[in-house]
Amino acid sequence: MKNTITSLFQDNIEKGSELMEVLNSDWASRHDAFEIIVTLLHSLIVCLDKIACDSSCRWDAKISSHAFILSSALTDFDFVVTVVILKNALSFTRAFGKNLQGTASYVFSAANSLTAVLHALNEVLDNIEVYHEFWFEEATNLSGKLHIPVKLPGQFRECSTANLQHDLISENFYKDALSIPTIQHIIQGLKDIFSEQHIKALKCLSLVPAVMSQLKFSTSEEHNADKYKSDLPNPDTLSAELHCWRVKWKHRGKDVELPANIFESLQLPDIKFFPNVQAVLKILSVLPIITMESKCEPSRNRLSFYIEKTPREQRSSHLAFLNVNYDTKHDLDLMVDTYLKAVESKDKLDSIPPHTDIAEEV
C-alpha cells in the first residue's frame, strides 16, 4: 500500500506522506473517514488488484480470491457514488461531531452551533438539485479516473436500457435514492438526538470554570438549568449560588488553575459549598454524549476487558456497568442493595449465574 501511495502521489509528496500516517492510525473511526476513503480509493484498488492478479504465488488462493471480491466491490459505481455522497453530506456535521468529542469548551461550542448546522443542512435540502449535481459530477469524475463505468445498481438497470439520457437517469436515481434520504436522515438524526432540552442541558457546560473563563464570565446558566430545578438541593438559591461561583473564578488568585472539565470541577474540595452547581455538573456528566475526559479511556478499556474475559452467555449489562465504573465514588452497599432489589422485583434472581460474585465484580 505504501509503495502504491508513493507512486500515485508522486506529484504531491506531502499528501502522500500524510496518507501513510493516516493509514497507521485508527482512520476508519475518524470524522473524515469518507474523505480518506475517497482519497485512497485508487490506491486501494491498485493494491487489491495486484494481490488478486499475482502470479508469483506470493499470496495463497484464499487471499487472492478475497482481494478479487473486495476489488470488484470497490470498482462498482454504486460504491463510488455512495462514498462520494456520504463524504459531501457528512461534511456539514463534521466539525460539530468532532467538537462533541472534544473538551468541555468544544462540546459547549458544538451545542451552540447546532442551530447553524441544521440551518446549513436544510439549505442543502432546499437546493438539493444543485448540490447533488455537483456531488454526482465528483463521483463520475472519480469513476472516470478509475475506469469504472457509470451505471445503475443491478436491479434497476433494466429500466434504463433505453440508453438515451443514461447519465441523467443515473443522476436522478441517485438523487432520490441517496442524496435526499441521506440529508433527511442526518437532519432527523440531529433533531432526535439533540432535542431542545438536551441542548439546553449542554449549554450548562459553561458552569465548568475553563469554559466560563472563555466566555469572560458573562454566562447565564440559570435559564438553562431550569429543567433540573426539581433535582437541585436548593433551587431557591440557585441564582445567588451561580453568582458566587462566577465571582469565585473570575477573581481567583493568580496561580489558581481553572478546572477544565466536569470531572475536575467535581473533584474540587470546596464543591460542596456549591450544592446546586455540583448537582447540575453530576447530571451533565451522565448525559449520553459527554465524555468524562480523564476517565473515559480506562472505562472503555475496562469494558473491553469485561467483554473479552466473560463468555457471551455469562455477560450481564448491569455487571458490565458496575465494572466499568468501579472507581466512581459511590456507596457500594447501597448500589448492591438497589441492584438486588431491581433484579428481585423483576423476578430474575435465578438468572444470575451462581458463581458470579457481585461484590467482587463491583
Which residues of the chain form contacts with ligand NAG (CB under 6 A)?
A: 134, 137-138, 141
Residue among 138 and 361 whose Cβ is closer to ligand NAG: 138
Compare residues 43 and 88 and give the one whose CB is closer to ligand NAG: 88
Least Å from the CB of residue 141 to ligand NAG? 4
Nearer to ligand NAG, 77 or 228 (CB): 77
Question: In degrees rounded to 5, what are phi and psi of residue 360?
Answer: -65, -40
Minimum distance, C-beta of residue 88 to ligand NAG, in the bound complex (Å)? 10
Q: Would you say 32 or 293 has its CB closer to ligand NAG?
A: 32
7/141 with CB nearer ligand NAG:
141
Considering the complex, what minimum distance in angstroms separates the CB of residue 211 from ligand NAG?
40
Residue 16's Cβ-count burial label (10 Å; 0-12, 13-18, 19+) is middle
Nearer to ligand NAG, 32 or 361 (CB): 32
CB atoms within 10 A of CB 105: 20
Q: How far is the CB of 170 from ligand NAG (least distance, A)?
A: 15
| Nearer residue to ligand NAG within complex by CB, 38 or 52 | 38
Q: Which is nearer to ligand NAG, 87 or 246 (CB)?
A: 87
Q: What value does the CA radius of gyration of the chain take, rounded to a whole number of Å?
A: 27
Cβ burial of 264 (10 Å; 0-12, 13-18, 19+) is middle
Tell me which residue has its CB nearest to ligand NAG: 141
Minimum distance from CB of 45 to ligand NAG (Å)?
19
Residue 150 contacts residue 168 (beta carbons within 8 Å): no
Q: What is the 3-state secondary structure (H, E, C) of 55-105?
A: CCCCCCHHHHHHHHHHHHHHCCHHHHHHHHHHHHHHCCCHHHHHHHCCCHH
138 or 264: CB nearest ligand NAG: 138
Q: How far apart are the first and last CA of the chain?
A: 46
Q: How far is the CB of 148 from ligand NAG (least distance, A)?
A: 14
Least separation in angstroms between CB 136 and ligand NAG: 8
Closer to ligand NAG by Cβ: residue 134 or 326: 134
In whole angstroms, the minimum distance from the beta carbon of 85 to ligand NAG comes to 12
Query: Smallest distance, Å, CB 131 to ligand NAG?
Result: 11
* Whole-Å CA distances, 305 to 14, 206, 302, 308, 310: 39, 34, 5, 5, 8
As measured in angstroms, the least distance from the Cβ of 140 to ligand NAG is 8
